[in-house]
Structure 1
Amino acid sequence: MIFEALLDVSSDKRHSRYFNQTRSHFLFRRIRIIALMLAIIQPAWLAIDYLLLPQSMFESIAYSRAIAASACLALGIWTQFRYSLRTAQLRLLLLVMILSAFQVATSELLIIHGYSTNVAGYQFFPFMIICMIAIFPLSITEALIYILVVLFIELLTQFARQKLGDVDSINNLWLLAVLGSISGWAAINQLSMLLGLYRQATRDALTGLANRRQALEQLESELLRHQQQQHSICVLLFDLDKFKLFNDTYGHAAGDIVLKSFAHILKKQSRRRTDLPARYGGEEFLMILPGTTASDALVIAESIMEACRNAKVKTPSGDSIGFTTSIGIAEYQAKETCDQLIHRADKALYEAKANGRDRACIAEANQDYTEVIA
């Protein structure tokens, strides 16, 4: 259990594309707020610099603050690709680099003029940057990268100042490493909590699949992506055959076992991270297949039906029984809504059940149905 939890937060490779989209937007909002706050605070801090620094030096510091504030403002108003995880990671790296570049430039100016210990805030800048990491939900890999970037910049700064290896420099590196460990742990813990809340809100408690709400939200998202990229989308609507009779015969506990077994089959057949199997309600299930045509979806449907025929579940009474499923397949048509797409799949499912069950039926564009007996 602990090992599984560690794997969950080790990197984004184990996360679904849908969770990564959620986390990306979460990161985007936090980075944006911090960037805009810094864009305001940087110029405001000039009042303190004006009181403590000579005029000649104040101008150089003011230019540095203006550049840093402008960069933070640009980062704050950059709103494109807010659901892209790679873009979110780039945003955070840019924020760290902007602040680090400002800290290095201004610290050098202060040291040259002998004001490094006279002005509040500058000597604590690296520690502020590394503590800031705790604000974001990051994986172990991401947190480690950002911490190492800050430490590497501090090492280069110390080397440039020819202070690498002295007591104060070693103390600074040690303190940065300790603060980085604490901030990294906080960031990883945030990711774990976000992942847990996401799963509670979007997963069916019995089967572990996406719930109806999550499935419909993601289908809406895929339809929006279709408008931009023009890729095909298919939905498969499943109904376990004679499930009510099964419950009446073997009991609801046995029915739950069948639902879990079928969910396991859907998970195995969802070979891509973009495929989303979901429990639609009761014994009905839904699978969203982006980038898939009806003919390709049919191959997947046949594989699922075959897996169901080969599956045997053991009921609490000790009986070993099998189950089958009927499937309705619908490929997205231009200007079709989410409800219309699922309705066509439901019509195709009805045809499959009316023609003997344990079969798949493809909904045609004209709403006639082509029956396929596996």
Structure 2
Amino acid sequence: MLSYIELLSARQHTRYFKETRGHYIYRRTRVIALILALLQSVWILVDQMLLPVDVQSQVAMTRLLSSVAFIALVCWTHRPYSEHLALLRVVMIILIMLLFHSVSAAILILHGHEYTVAGYQFFPYMIVTMLAVFPLTLLNVLSLTLLVAAVEVVTQLVRGQFGQVQAVDSLWLLLVLAVVAGWAAVNQLNMLLGLYRQATRDALTSLANRRLVLEQLDTEIGRLQESKSKLSVLLFDLDKFKGFNDNYGHAAGDIVLKEFARILIKVARKKVDLPARFGGEEFLMLLPDMNSVEASRVAEQIIAACHATQVRIPSGEKVGFTTSIGVAQWQPGEDHSHLIGRADAALYEAKANGRDRYEVAD
């Protein structure tokens, strides 16, 4: 169930959803920037028919400069999964549009054509409605709306219109459009959160599924190749789980799986580590910025938590469970298959040495 807090601010989002949303916004900003670049350039021809001759060249130059800025934004492909940079790209689109609006309005005012040229007064409304294109939080929408409204207020002050009926109507219309666009943006975020969880969560345990954990492992490895950070993984297998299902039934087995998932969530660092159900009774946990020694301490915590836990199964009995763990630290040059393979070899060794323990891969 989605929380309203998650729609208010991105603070409650996991780093993995933040990367997903960042890449989603990144793709959309590039498309929007390309469309705006083309429109700004093509609209010069329209201005030749509509604008007075004495302002055509100046407005055309303003359009060309904004078009170049949009093209630069399209070409800016650095860190496409960064949520912060994605939001910065949205801000830059809005700032470019606001700057074009302010400069073109100033040109028209200086030449006495402010009220003889239609269309340019509608730019603030067009800009604020663009918020509906992106999956934004309520705080994002509020911040961007205040930015557009502030520019509009300054423009009205320069014109000497602030406080007049027409100016108040303009601000009121701007806020109404912002509410509608904001609702659409937050609705997009709500839909993206829902689809993300359906596609990436295990239905039984609510942990990340195999697909997500492998994708994120690849992302982490790609990040490690550009930095000197660390990464370790823990691969778990619930001990003698097949026999447990045979003795107590699959309903009891599901209870154990869910309880073990709760242990992983409790031990994991919030918004940093990623526990996942890897398949059947196998689980995998990503531990960014941890070496094998630190990861081994996490493994010890999980083993101790299993020892301290008993679950009540449908028959009414209370039963315990244990896990074997393989620990592996990423080594330069290896892909996720090799890393997990080493963790799996360590897990096999833990089982061979009596289970209910961990082993560290070479």
- TM-score, normalised via structure 1 length: 0.94
Deviations 1:195-248 (A, max 9, x none): 111111111111111111111111111111111102221110001111111111
> CA–CA distance in 1 between the matches of 2:157 and 2:314?
70
The number of equivalent residue pairs is: 362
Letter in 1 for 2:79: F
Partner of 1:6: 4
Letter in 2 for 1:210: A
| Conservation of the 8 A alpha-carbon contact between 1:239 and 1:326 | yes
Letter in 2 for 1:324: T
- Larger relative contact order (C-alpha < 8 A, sep ≥ 6)? 2
2:274 is aligned, of 273, 276, 293, to: 276
Partner of 2:351: 353
Which one is further off, 344-353 or 109-118? 109-118
> CA–CA distance in 2 between the matches of 1:29 and 1:246?
48
4+ residue runs over 4 A deviation: none
| Conservation of the 8 A alpha-carbon contact between 1:215 and 1:278 | yes
Partner of 2:182: 184
Partner of 1:108: 106
Partner of 1:172: 170
Partner of 2:37: 39
CA RMSD of aligned residues (A): 1.3
| Conservation of the 8 A alpha-carbon contact between 1:49 and 1:119 | no
Letter in 2 for 1:299: R
2:87 is aligned, of 76, 86, 89, to: 89
Partner of 1:286: 284
Matched, 1:77 2:69: no
Percentage of matched positions with identical amino acids: 52
| Conservation of the 8 A alpha-carbon contact between 1:20 and 1:85 | yes
Deviations 1:148-172 (A, max 9, x none): 1111111111112111110010001
1:312 is aligned, of 310, 313, 328, to: 310
Partner of 1:149: 147
Partner of 1:235: 233
Gaps of 5+ in 2: none
Letter in 2 for 1:202: T
Shift of 1:5: 2.2
| Conservation of the 8 A alpha-carbon contact between 1:308 and 1:325 | yes
Which one is further off, 110-119 or 76-85? 110-119
Counterpart mapping for 1:173-212 below 5 A: 173-212=171-210
Partner of 2:26: 28
> CA–CA distance in 1 between the matches of 2:277 and 2:115?
62
Shift of 1:119: 2.9
Secondary structure, counterpart of 2:277 in structure 1: strand
Shift of 1:272: 4.2
Shift of 1:116: 3.0
Shift of 1:6: 0.6
